A and B are shown apart, each in its own frame.
Chain A
Amino acid sequence: MSTEPDKLESFVNRRYEHGFITDIDADSLPPGLDEGVVRAISARKNEPEFMLEWRLRAYRHWRQLEEPTWAHVHYPRIDYEAISYFSAPKSDKDRPKSLDEVDPKLLETYDKLGIPLHERARLAGVAVDAVFDSVSVATTFKEKLSEAGVIFCSFSDAVINHPDLVKKYLGSVVPQRDNFFASLNSAVFSDGSFVYIPKGVRCPMELSTYFRINAANTGQFERTLIIADEGSHVSYLEGCTAPMRDENQLHAAVVELVALKDAEIKYSTVQNWYPGDENGVGGIYNFVTKRGDCRGANSKISWTQVETGSAITWKYPSCILRGENSVGEFYSVAVANNYQQADTGTKMIHIGRNTRSTIVSKGISAGHAQNAYRGLVRIMPQAHGARNHTQCDSLLIGKACGAHTFPYIEVRNPSAKVEHEATTSKISADQLFYCRQRGISEEDAVNMIVNGFCKEVFKELPMEFAVEAQALLNVSLEGAVG
């Protein structure tokens, strides 16, 4: 064991513990993307005509675009013709029959992460009819939600059963042409979640457990749409793990949130996708477009995210503060370890009067990782009295990693108040020795310091999720020192 700072990074050599290689599905489309593929995807989902048209428009636009290169991340060019754009969910006969057949390492990680027992089977991909527990849990949830009038279903179901809502809101926050990855997603999105909270309804539960149980298999191009009608309130939790693969895997999700007058959406993410091995081989490329639209007065959208996974993360959950007095919040912990690269942050676009936004970003870098915060605060001319407070802190573990901050501030209204604070700190050998001299192991000391650093963000997460997030961080930095 050593507390030398230059040796700290060897402690970073942890293994991804959610990884397991699965058999190839029979029912996938051959690699490559053309109109035929888009049509095939739509057909397999039995989508109505409007959806196919929408996808095709996106596809035709995407064809004309170049992949963006401005982010502070480096990776070999993605060959979009080498990707298969549709694979059906595994049939039950290919799945493990019970938890006994699941990789014990995976179960151990679930245990470390404190994932409830009734969720583990589903997360591990155990065949549905073997998962009595979760089925009954899901049924109870469904009843409770439908009593409240809440619509919560897969995106594919929503296209079939709630086409009017989908037509009205899909692409209204993240237009098809927003960016390269959003266009691609719009053309080929696989599945995701759909939520509608009716006027004045406070969603009776966190939409978390339910989500994990029902939408574990959403594919590479996830699409989520959440609409909070006037005066409603919802808290949505998203979490994912991914199978270990050797080749890099592209994920490009789109999440759209709409908050009408007096509505509030709290969207929390704990993300743990395969980051690649300790030499930077493999890992998920995660290019996400997440945006919330505070469309009505006094509405509020709050993003909280804990990101520990992916080889490359490109992600800027944003808020468009259109309604008067609307509020946008962004609380983020981004961990990058080994050869991970993260370019993440937020955008707060102030349009309405007296709109307020808060940004708290905590970046942790270890190993050879590069962690960049990129944040835009834009105050439009009509946004009288707008306010923003940004706090952006970086924590470095070891010598070979990097932290970068790119704040962009555009103020076009003189009555606005914008504050930006930034700090960078290191876990020093002296701090670790101090803790060890008090009887605390090096690993516990690192966890303690990291958790202390992230406190402000964790307290924004729903209680259960906070515990899980903390455990996840500990697992992610396991072996980060010594």
Chain B
Amino acid sequence: MLQITDLKARIGDAEILHGLNLQVNAGEVHAIMGPNGSGKSTLAQVVAGHDAYEVTAGSVTYNGTDLLALEPEERAREGIFLGFQYPVEIPGVNNAYLLKAALNARRKHQGLDEIDAFEFLKLAREKMALLGMDPKFLNRGVNEGFSGGEKKRNEIFQMAMLEPTLAVLDETDSGLDIDALRAVAMGVNALRSPERAIILVTHYQRLLDYVEPDYVHVLSGGRIVRSGDKSLALELEEKGYDWLREAATA
């Protein structure tokens, strides 16, 4: 589904990704771990198409097409979802309004009819109940005055509504209490299917207790320095990242 080959990317004058390779197939869940500043968010933003990041070499294909040639909104309509590490507040824009516009943009692209207000609300209430969210959030400004945890839950709620083909969640588990973490895990597990793929960027083993990944990768210094199965995450929890850094530079 997603094929990243020798990807180099920079922001400003600094090259952050120095030749990254990653293959993600339908049905898989990949966890990407790694120290602060190693380039995890950069990778997520490049996949989503943020134009502050410049791709200088390599390729990214998504279901066989050149992903880098698409605008961010085209990528989204093709089923790519990014759960932001720092979801932005958009005061005055109703959460439900944004989400309905997003959903309809996707549906239009798929040649489907627009969802009507009634259907939309029904679906939204269902998903919110599942994630333990108060329906009041629908009528608030997008992330406006939300706590850190509420913002992350809102990302998962949006993901649940949009049912992406490829979801990239950038540290959605950071700063969550245990209930919120469970809710996030539930959202992710509900999305899991043979047609979809999920990339979880995380620092912590604890999310992986709830969402079992097929693969775990360690991103360090702008490259994937090690890949393995879920036991790698446990090993990292125990030993930290330093031994890998040494291994990478050796």
Binding site for B on A (CB under 8 A): 1-4, 425, 428-431, 433-442, 444, 448-449, 452-453, 455
Q: Which of B9-17, B90-98, B125-133, B220-228 lies at the interface?
A: B90-98
Kindly state the separation between the CA atoms of A478 and B109 in the bound complex, as whole angstroms.
Answer: 22
- Residues of chain A within 8 A (CB-CB) of B142 are 434
Interchain CB contact under 8 A, A437 and B82: yes
Interface assignment of B158: CB less than 8 Å from any CB of chain A: yes
Asked whether, in the complex, the Cβ of A439 is within 8 Å of the Cβ of B106, the reply is: yes
The contact of A436 among B76, B90, B91, B141, by CB within 8 Å, is B76
CB-based contact B90/A449 at 8 Å: yes
Residues of B within 8 A of A438 (CB): 76, 98-99, 101-102, 105, 158, 162
Bound together, the chains give a CA A357 to CA B82 distance in angstroms of: 46
* Chain B residues closer than 8 Å to A440, beta-carbon distance: 73, 98, 101-102, 105
A114 to chain B: closest CB distance in Å? 19
Mark B residues whose CB is within 8 Å of A: 48-52, 71-73, 75-77, 81-82, 84, 87-88, 90-94, 97-99, 101-102, 105-106, 109, 141-142, 158, 162
Give the docked Cα–Cα distance between A430 and B75 (Å): 17
B90 touches A431 (CB 8 A): yes
Which residue in A3, A429, A452, A455 is a CB contact (below 8 Å) of B90? A452
Complex Cα spacing A437 to B162, Å: 12
Tell whether, in the assembled complex, residue B48 and residue A437 are in contact, meaning their CB atoms are under 8 Å apart.
yes
Question: In the assembly, what is the distance between CA of A4 and CA of B72, in Å?
Answer: 14
Q: Are B73 and A434 in touch, CB under 8 angstroms?
A: no
Q: Could you list some 27 contacts between A and B, CB below 8 A?
A: A1-B71, A3-B51, A4-B51, A434-B87, A434-B88, A434-B142, A435-B90, A436-B49, A436-B76, A437-B48, A437-B49, A438-B99, A438-B102, A438-B162, A439-B73, A439-B76, A439-B102, A439-B106, A440-B73, A440-B98, A441-B73, A448-B93, A448-B97, A449-B92, A452-B91, A452-B141, A453-B92
**Known pairs A440-B98, A448-B97, A449-B93. 15 more at Cβ < 8 A?**
A1-B71, A4-B52, A425-B91, A430-B88, A434-B87, A435-B98, A436-B76, A437-B73, A438-B105, A439-B77, A439-B106, A440-B101, A440-B105, A442-B73, A452-B141
A431 touches B88 (CB 8 A): yes
Cross-chain contact B92 with A437 (CB below 8 angstroms): no
Contact of A452 among B48, B82, B94, B105 (CB under 8 A): B94
Report Cα–Cα, A452/B49, bound state, in Å: 26
Report the nearest A residue to B73, measured CB to CB. Answer: A436
CB distance from A374 to the nearest CB of B (A): 24
Q: Is the CB of A448 within 8 A of B101?
A: yes
C-alpha spacing A431/B84, complex, angstroms: 12
Nearest CB on B from A405, distance (A): 18
Per the bound structure, the CA–CA distance linking A196 and B25 in Å amounts to: 74
> Which chain B residue lies CB-closest to A438?
B102
Contacts of A434 in B (CB 8 A): 84, 87-88, 90, 142
Inter-chain contacts of B82 with A (CB < 8 A): 437
Separation in Å of the B123 CB from the closest CB of chain A?
16
A-B interface, 6 closest residue pairs, ranked by CB to CB distance from nearest? A452-B92, A438-B102, A439-B105, A439-B76, A452-B93, A436-B72
| Most B CB within 10 A of own CB, among A437, A448, A452 | A437
A452-B90, A452-B92 are contacts. A437–B51 as well, Cβ < 8 Å?
Answer: no
- Which of chain B's residues have a CB closer than 8 A to the CB of A430? 88
CA gap between A164 and B87 in the complex, in Å: 64
Chain B contacts of A4 at CB under 8 A? 51-52
Looking across the interface, which residue of chain B has its beta carbon closest to that of A442? Answer: B73
Which A residues are CB-close (under 8 A) to B49? Answer: 436-437
In the bound assembly, the distance between CA atoms of A348 and B84 in angstroms comes to: 46
Chain B positions within 8 Å of A433 at CB level: 50, 72
Q: Which residue of B lies closest to A430 (CB)?
A: B88
Task: Determine whether the beta carbon of B109 is less than 8 Å from that of A439.
Answer: yes
Complex interface: chain B residues within 8 A of A455 (CB): 92
B161 vs chain A, min Cβ distance (A): 10
Chain A: minimal CB distance from B46 (Å): 12
Residues in chain A near residue B97, CB distance under 8 A: 448, 452
Q: Which residue on B lies nearest to A435, using beta carbons?
A: B98
- Assembled-state Cα–Cα distance A452/B93 (Å): 5
Cα A439 to Cα B99 in complex, Å, equals 10
**Shortest Cβ distance from B10 into chain A, in angstroms?**
15
The answer to whether B91 touches A444, judged by C-beta atoms less than 8 angstroms apart, is no
Please determine whether A437 and B93 come into contact, CB atoms closer than 8 angstroms.
Answer: no
A4 to B11, CA, bound (A): 13
| Cβ of A10 to closest chain B Cβ, rounded Å | 14
